[in-house]
C-alpha cells in the first residue's frame, strides 16, 4: 500500500502503480520521504504523473546505515556467491513477470516509445541481470582467489590475490534509460557482494522505485537494496558519506564533476559515465541511401536522450550535398508522437526546460551561420516534442558540434580525407562512442585511431552483456558492464607467505 504522502496523480494503471510502493526503501521497509515534495509529469501530454517526497538528511543516513549493517555482518554478507546468484535470478524473474508494468512505467515516466521500451528499456536489462547472476558464481576475471607463481628472491615465497567486495555502493542513475543503467550498477554490485543505496533521477524516478520493490519481492535480505529520492543535494550527501565506499554515477559532465568533488572528501572510489558528442564517420565509397536510415536513428532513438548518440555526422566534402539530402529524407520519414503507439519512432524530451534549452542552442547555431536543414521546431500540441533536426554550415568547433544536447539533433560536417575525419572525430573533450560506415578492412584501422571507449563498424550488433561501456577523456572514469565493469566493485588484496 502507498504511504499516505506518496501517491499517483496520473494515468498509470493499477498494476503498474502498485510497483511504486513509496518514496524510500530502507532495510526492506517502504516509507514516505519527509523532505520537499515534487510532482513528476508525463512528458508526452504534460499531465501530472506522480508525487514524490525527498529524503531528509536523516533518512539518507538511515539508508546508508542499513546498507552498512547488511555488509558488516548482516544476512546479506553471509549469502555467498551461489546465494547472490539465486537472488539476482529471482529479481530477473520478477522483472520478466512484470514486464508489461515496467514498460508502461518507462513509457509514461521517460516518454520512450513503447517499441524501444520493450527491448532496450526492459528486455535487455533482464538479460544483463542474468549475466551478472552467472558472474556472481564464477567471480571476477582471475577469480575470487587467484594463486600466483612462487617467487625465489632473498626470501622464497608464494602468494595469491584475493578479490573482495568494495563495500557499500551509492548508485546514482540518470533518467534516460533508468532500468538499464540501474541494472548495470546494482547487477555488478550485488554480484560482487556489495549492498547498494539507489538514487534515481528526480526527472524519472518511477522505474527505479519499481525495480527496488521487485528486489524486495525477489527475497533480497534487508539492507541489500535501498532507495532514496530527492534533489542533487541528496546525491552529494551520498557521495560525501563516510560509510559509502564507492559511488557509481551516470549523468552530465557537470554533475559528475560535482560527485567527484564530493567523493574526494573521503577519497572513495568513483565510477562515472558522463556522456559524449560522438562521431559517425561515413567513408567515401558508401551509398548514402543504404546507411542514412540507420545512421539517423543513432541520434534520434529515445528522442536523442542517449549518452552514446552519434550526433556528429562526418561525410566526404565532395559528397556533402548528397549525404545531407539522404539524411534529411531519413529524418523526415520518422514518426514523432505518442510513445504508447508502436508505430512511433521519436517520443518527447523529458521536460519543457530541457526542450527550451535545446531550442536556444539551435537558435545560437543559426545566429552563428548554421543552417537548419530539417526539423528544429516543436510541433503544435501538448508534450515536449522536438522534430528530428539536422544542422549544417557549422564547423567542428561550434557549440552545437561540441556540447551534448541530449536531443534528436545532429550536425553534418564535411571532411577532406580520412585523416581529416579522424582529426575531427578526436577533436572533442568527450570520448565515449563512435561508429564508422564502410568496408571493414578500411574501417578497422580507423577505429584504432579514435580516442573513444566504444566503436561500432556499420552499426555494430546486439547489445552484449559481456562488453564493457565507458569512455576516454571527460566521458568518465571506469567502466560499466562486462568483466571490466564487474571488476570495479572489488578491492584486490595481496596475500603472501614464506615457502
Q: Tell me the DSSP string of 291-313.
A: HHHHHHHHHHGGGG--TT---EE
Q: What is the pLDDT of residues 81-114, one digit of tens each?
A: 999 999 999 999 999 999 999 999 999 999 999 9
3-state SS, one letter per residue, for 323-358: HHHHHHHHHHCCCECCCCCCCCCECCCCCHHHHHHH
- Predicted TM-score (pTM) of the model is 0.95
* pLDDT range class, residue 322, cuts 50, 70, 90: very high
3-state SS, one letter per residue, for 133-153: HHHHHHCCCCCCEEECCCEEC
Lookup: cell for 341: 503507439
Average predicted confidence (pLDDT) for the chain: 96
Give the residue numbers annotated as catalytic, written as ranges. Answer: 273, 307
Q: For residue 408, which of 274, 286, 251, 295 has the smallest C-alpha distance? A: 295
Q: Is the pLDDT of residue 2 over 60?
A: no
Q: Is the pLDDT of residue 220 over 70?
A: yes
Q: Is the CB of residue 455 less than 8 Å from the CB of residue 426? A: no
pLDDT of residue 234: 97
Lookup: cell for 299: 541520434
Radius of gyration of the chain (CA): 23
Paired with 250 in beta bridges are 273
Q: Is the pLDDT of residue 5 over 90?
A: no
* pLDDT range class, residue 11, cuts 50, 70, 90: confident
Q: Is the pLDDT of residue 346 over 70?
A: yes
Q: For residue 484, which of 273, 305, 308 has the smallest C-alpha distance? A: 273
Q: What is the pLDDT of residues 225-275, one digit of tens each?
A: 999 999 999 999 999 999 999 999 999 999 999 999 999 999 999 999 998
pLDDT of residue 4: 31
Q: For residue 437, which of 277, 310, 333, 304 has the smallest C-alpha distance? A: 310
Alpha helices in 72-193 (DSSP H): 80-97, 99-110, 114-116, 124-138, 178-192
For 255: left if phi > 0, alpha if psi spans -120 to 50, otherwise beta; the answer is alpha
Q: CA-CA distance, 396 to 425, in Å (whole number)?
A: 9
Q: Is the pLDDT of residue 375 over 50?
A: yes
Q: What is the pLDDT of residues 163-196, one digit of tens each?
A: 999 999 999 999 999 999 999 999 999 999 999 9
* pLDDT range class, residue 10, cuts 50, 70, 90: low
Region 343-355: what's the mean pLDDT? 97
Q: Is the pLDDT of residue 313 over 60?
A: yes
Q: What is the pLDDT of residues 109-121, one digit of tens each?
A: 999 999 999 999 9
Q: Is the pLDDT of residue 8 over 80?
A: no
Q: Is the CB of residue 171 less than 8 Å from the CB of residue 191? A: no
Paired with 430 in beta bridges are 473
Paired with 37 in beta bridges are 53
Q: CA-CA distance, 457 to 343, in Å (whole number)?
A: 27
Lookup: cell for 107: 513509457
pLDDT of residue 259: 96
Q: Is the CB of residue 278 less than 8 Å from the CB of residue 432? A: yes
Q: For residue 129, which of 182, 63, 169, 75 has the smallest C-alpha distance? A: 182
Distances (CA, A) of 372 to 271, 279, 288, 394: 37, 19, 20, 10
Handedness of CA 253, 186, 197, 40 (dihedral sign): positive
Region 318-341: what's the mean pLDDT? 97
Alpha helices in 195-252 (DSSP H): 206-218, 232-240
* pLDDT range class, residue 463, cuts 50, 70, 90: confident
Kindly report the CA angle at 450 between 449 and 452, in degrees rounded to 5?
140
Q: CA-CA distance, 454 to 460, in Å (whole number)?
A: 10
pLDDT of residue 244: 98
pLDDT of residue 461: 87
Q: For residue 489, which of 267, 165, 170, 185 has the smallest C-alpha distance? A: 165
Contacts of residue 238, defined as CB under 8 A and 6 or more positions apart, other chains included, come to: 60, 64, 170, 172, 197, 199, 228, 244, 247
Q: State what percent of residues in the chain have pLDDT above 90.
A: 96
Paired with 472 in beta bridges are 431
* pLDDT range class, residue 487, cuts 50, 70, 90: very high
* CA max distance for the chain: 79
* pLDDT range class, residue 52, cuts 50, 70, 90: very high
Contacts of residue 320, defined as CB under 8 A and 6 or more positions apart, other chains included, come to: 412, 414
Amino acid at each position: 500500500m502507498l504511504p499516505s504522502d506518496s501517491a499517483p496523480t496520473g494515468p498509470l494503471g493499477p498494476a503498474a502503480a502498485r510497483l511504486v510502493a513509496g518514496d524510500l526503501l530502507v532495510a526492506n521497509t517502504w516509507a514516505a520521504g519527509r523532505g520537499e515534495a515534487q510532482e513528476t509529469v508525463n512528458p508526452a501530454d504534460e499531465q501530472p504523473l506522480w508525487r514524490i517526497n525527498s529524503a531528509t538528511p536523516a533518512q539518507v543516513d538511515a539508508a546508508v546505515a542499513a546498507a552498512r549493517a547488511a555488509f558488516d555482518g548482516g544476512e546479506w554478507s553471509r549469502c555467498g556467491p551461489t546465494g547472490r546468484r539465486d537472488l539476482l535470478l529471482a529479481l530477473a524473474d520478477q522483472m520478466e513477470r512484470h514486464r508489461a508494468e515496467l514498460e508502461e512505467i518507462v513509457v509514461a515516466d521517460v516518454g520512450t516509445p513503447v517499441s524501444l521500451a520493450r527491448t532496450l528499456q526492459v528486455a535487455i536489462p533482464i538479460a544483463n541481470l542474468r549475466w551478472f547472476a552467472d558472474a556472481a558464481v564464477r567471480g571476477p576475471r582471475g577469480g575470487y582467489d587467484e594463486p600466483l607463481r612462487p617467487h625465489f628472491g632473498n626470501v622464497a615465497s608464494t602468494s595469491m590475490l584475493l578479490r573482495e567486495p568494495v563495500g557499500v555502493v551509492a548508485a546514482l542513475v540518470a533518467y534516460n534509460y533508468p532500468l538499464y543503467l540501474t541494472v548495470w550498477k546494482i547487477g555488478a554490485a550485488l554480484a560482487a557482494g556489495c549492498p547498494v543505496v539507489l538514487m534515481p533521477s528526480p526527472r524519472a524516478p518511477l522505474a527505479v522505485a519499481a525495480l527496488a520493490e521487485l528486489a524486495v519481492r525477489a527475497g533480497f535480505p534487508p539492507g541489500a537494496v535501498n532507495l532514496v529520492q530527492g534533489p542533487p543535494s541528496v546525491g552529494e550527501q551520498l557521495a560525501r558519506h563516510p560509510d559509502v565506499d564507492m559511488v557509481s554515477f551516470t549523468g552530465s559532465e557537470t554533475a559528475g564533476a560535482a560527485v567527484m568533488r564530493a567523493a574526494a572528501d573521503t577519497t572513495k572510489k568513483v565510477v562515472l559515465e558522463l556522456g559524449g558528442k560522438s562521431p559517425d564517420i561515413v567513408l567515401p565509397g558508401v551509398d548514402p541511401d543504404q546507411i542514412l536510415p540507420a545512421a539517423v536513428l543513432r541520434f534520434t532513438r529515445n528522442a536523442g536522450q542517449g549518452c552514446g548518440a552519434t550526433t556528429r555526422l562526418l561525410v566526404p566534402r565532395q559528397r556533402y550535398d548528397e549525404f545531407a539530402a539522404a539524411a534529411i529524407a531519413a529524418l523526415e520519414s520518422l514518426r514523432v508522437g505518442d510513445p504508447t503507439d508502436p508505430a512511433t519512432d521519436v517520443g518527447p524530451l523529458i521536460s519543457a526546460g530541457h526542450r527550451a534549452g535545446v531550442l536556444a542552442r539551435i537558435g545560437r547555431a543559426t545566429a552563428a551561420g548554421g543552417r537548419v536543414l530539417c526539423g528544429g521546431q516543436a510541433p503544435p500540441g501538448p508534450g515536449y516534442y522536438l522534430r528530428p533536426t539536422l544542422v549544417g554550415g557549422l564547423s567542428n568547433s561550434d557549440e552545437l558540434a561540441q556540447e551534448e544536447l541530449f536531443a534528436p539533433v545532429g550536425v553534418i560536417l564535411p571532411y577532406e580525407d580520412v585523416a581529416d575525419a579522424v582529426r575531427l572525430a578526436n577533436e572533442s573533450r568527450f570520448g565515449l562512442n563512435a561508429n564508422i560506415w564502410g568496408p571493414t578492412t578500411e574501417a578497422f584501422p580507423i577505429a584504432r585511431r579514435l580516442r573513444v571507449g566504444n566503436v561500432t563498424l556499420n552499426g555494430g550488433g546486439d547489445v552484449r552483456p559481456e562488453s564493457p561501456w565507458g569512455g576516454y577523456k571527460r566521458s568518465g572514469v571506469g567502466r560499466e558492464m562486462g568483466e571490466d565493469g564487474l571488476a570495479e566493485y572489488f578491492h584486490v588484496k595481496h596475500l603472501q607467505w614464506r615457502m
